[in-house]
Amino acid sequence: MAEKINYDWAKGFSLDFALSDGMSRNAVSTKRYLSQMKGMYHDAAAFEKVIAAGDPLVYEFYELGAPENPGDLAFGTSITYPGKIGNEYFMTKGHFHTILETAEVYYTLSGEGGMLLENPEGDTEFYPMEPGKVIYVPPRYAHRSINTGKVPMVSFFVFRGDAGHNYATIETKGYRKLVVEGDDGKPQVADNPRWR
């Protein structure tokens, strides 16, 4: 078992945050399996068919457990795995921040996909994610990572330590838009017929 590392959030610290050589000893992994995403995908029959064949890991994220203070920054990495439910790509649940006026930054390390953004008024954006690309999520926007590729999509994220996460709004209402594989095999943004 790896030794637990304590970080000095008051004086600063340095760490190896590589995914391939022991990140799990530096950060805690939270895993989301498909069964934990019931109601997130628009094709319920396709969802049940995939669940019946197993319960794939859709995404996971690693973070250090930053202090929840306004002046501190929480950061970590998110891995969204490749796959589809019907024609809709594997994605994260998506969330608003509890402190709605909180921004977040994502930097894509590997893989490809996109970030779906939506504010409470219904304005939506979809930005491609690929290695070296930064996505700035402005305050008041829910955000969801979507893997449109064939390999895991890995991104680094950072936001204010006390921002919190509001998953309940998305779990209840969903997003107004979906990202699906079109007839040409390319991702496209479409209206969500199940949006409430």
What percent of the chain is modeled with pLDDT above 90?
Answer: 73
Query: For residue 44, what are the domain limits?
Result: 23-191
For residues 125 and 106, give the distance between their C-alpha atoms in angstroms, rounded to a whole number: 15
**Radius of gyration over alpha carbons of the chain, in Å?**
17
Asked which of 93-97, 168-172, 179-183 is least confident by mean pLDDT, the reply is 168-172
Q: Does 13 reside within a domain?
A: no
pLDDT given for residue 17 in this prediction: 65
The CATH number for 175's domain is 2.60.120.10
Query: What would the mean pLDDT of 105-119 be, rounded to a whole number?
Result: 97
**At residue 48, what are phi and psi to the nearest 5 degrees?**
-65, -35
Total domains in the chain come to 1
- Place 2 in a pLDDT band, splitting at 50, 70 and 90: very low
**Residues in a beta bridge with 108:** 155
pLDDT given for residue 1 in this prediction: 37
Q: Does 100 reside within a domain?
A: yes
Q: Does 96 reside within a domain?
A: yes
pLDDT given for residue 162 in this prediction: 95
pTM of the model: 0.89
**At residue 85, what are phi and psi to the nearest 5 degrees?**
-115, 105
Q: Does 16 reside within a domain?
A: no
Tens digits of residue pLDDT in 60-106: 998 877 888 888 999 989 999 999 999 999 999 999 999 999 999 99
With tokens 């530096």, the residue in question is 26
Tens digits of residue pLDDT in 129-144: 999 999 999 999 999 9
Token pair in block for residue 145:
């990572």
Q: Does 63 reside within a domain?
A: yes
Q: Does 118 reside within a domain?
A: yes
The answer to whether the Cα torsion of 40, 45, 50, 54 is positive or negative is positive
Q: Does 146 reside within a domain?
A: yes
pLDDT given for residue 5 in this prediction: 62
Q: Does 181 reside within a domain?
A: yes
